[in-house]
Amino acid sequence: MAIDHDHLMNFPIPEVRQRVTPRDAVFYALSVGLGQDPLDRRQLDYVDHHRALKALPSMAVVLGHPGFWLRDPRTGVDAVRLVHGEQGIRLLKPLPVDGEIIGRTRVIGLVDKGAGKGALLYSEKQVIDAATGDLLAVTESTTFLRGDGGFGGPAGPIKPPHPIPEGAPDWTIDLATRPEQALYYRLNGDDNPLHADPGTAEKAGFPRPILHGLCTLGVAAHALLRALGDYDAARCRSLALRFTAPVFPGETIRTEIWRDGAFRARVVERDQIVVNNGRAEFEGVRP
């Protein structure tokens, strides 16, 4: 079944109502690697439920998550071959650790790169406070549909990448992932079998299950929060990045950060860039 442009642009992605609890906030932080250093008291504000908890800014990507909706055969998408290409987060108000939110997701763009070249699907999710109606965050995703080009859709526009500065980064932060981390992370609601089942990973062209792109984002966001925000989540205004290669659970992610908020990340063990063209904005940080 080929993609129908108009049908996919208007695909009815279900609205999600989610009760957020302190346990959810703690679990998300643990699933992206916080708490591995038992002597770092600043991390405890995100993982110790006996404290006045804070929600990590990157938690916006899992709040109100509609699940793996592109697996629905009515989309016409080859769900086995898709990969997460880009992700952005814009924060308008602090994320809750206790309350109800609404997630509203919609397709906002579709680009046909041509037969054999795949397609790009742009989607947006609004995270809304159910009690007040306030918009808390907006996330934007680019999904690369590797098996779905040539359906006769528009050839653009394509988002330009944010440039990385020349010269050495101002901060370099190494954070380890754990071998079972993808199995934890998928409990946030992203249950694509690519991250758990060896057979699915093999069909997608990977030697073993890979880490979720959004988990890699969470690790990089942790490094940014340390370098640019001194672990103060309220200072984070936005971040955006491009995924360039997969991470295998158990590898170490090195995030390279420039003072103007540009960043990229690489896997130390393979010296391969896995996140590029990143841009983060934190209150009080000036180039």
Number of CB atoms found within 10 A of residue 63's CB: 26
Among 238, 262, 190, 242, CA closest to 57: 238
Cα Rg for the chain, rounded, in angstroms? Answer: 18
What is the side-by-side strand order in the sheet with 119-129? Answer: 16-20, 99-112, 119-129, 135-145, 82-91, 236-243, 272-282, 262-267, 252-257, 171-176
Q: Cα-flanking dihedrals φ and ψ of residue 58, to 5°?
A: -70, -10
Token pair for 241: 């990045």
Among 205, 207, 208, CA closest to 195: 208
Q: Annotated catalytic sites, by residue?
A: 190, 195, 210, 213
Among 12, 16, 10, CA closest to 190: 16
Number of CB atoms found within 10 A of residue 219's CB: 26
